[in-house]
């Protein structure tokens, strides 16, 4: 079985479709209505990770949903910070 994660939730590939391991629902149909698997917050109305909100001078970002190496911040100037360095910036902005 092929497995992965999506926004902190375990998923699996079954009969050509990615489904959530816990509910067996297709991810394509329900991913927007699921909270973060780590912090349990829903995305903001702008689509930002709920735990991050809107970060200053940031074009887009992802908290990693429990996978530190998946976290990233892309700044307005195009530069990108990933992994633990991104998590540290996110934490400092939320204090």
Per-residue model confidence (pLDDT) at position 16: 96
CA quadruple 28, 53, 41, 73: dihedral positive or negative?
A: positive
pTM of the model: 0.73
The stretches of the chain forming alpha helices (DSSP H) are: 27-30, 83-94
Quote the CA–CA distance of 69 and 72 in Å, as a whole number.
Answer: 8
Q: What is the pLDDT along the chain (95 residues), one digit of tens a residue?
A: 899 998 889 999 999 999 999 999 999 988 888 888 888 888 887 777 888 877 889 888 888 888 888 999 999 999 999 999 998 988 887 66
Pairing of the two strands 58-62 and 72-75 = antiparallel
Structure tokens at 74: 């892309």
**28 C-beta neighbours (distance < 10 Å), count:** 10
36, 8 contact by CB (below 8 A): yes
Per-residue model confidence (pLDDT) at position 26: 95
């Amino acid at each position: 079985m092929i497995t992965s994660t999506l926004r902190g939730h375990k998923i699996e590939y079954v009969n050509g479709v990615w489904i959530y391991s816990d509910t067996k629902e297709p991810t394509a149909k329900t991913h927007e209505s699921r909270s973060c698997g780590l912090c349990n917050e829903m995305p903001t109305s702008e689509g930002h990770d709920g735990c991050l909100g809107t970060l200053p001078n940031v074009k887009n970002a992802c908290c990693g949903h429990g996978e530190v190496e998946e976290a990233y911040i892309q700044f307005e100037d195009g530069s990108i910070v990933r992994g633990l360095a991104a998590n540290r910036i996110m934490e400092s902005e939320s204090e």
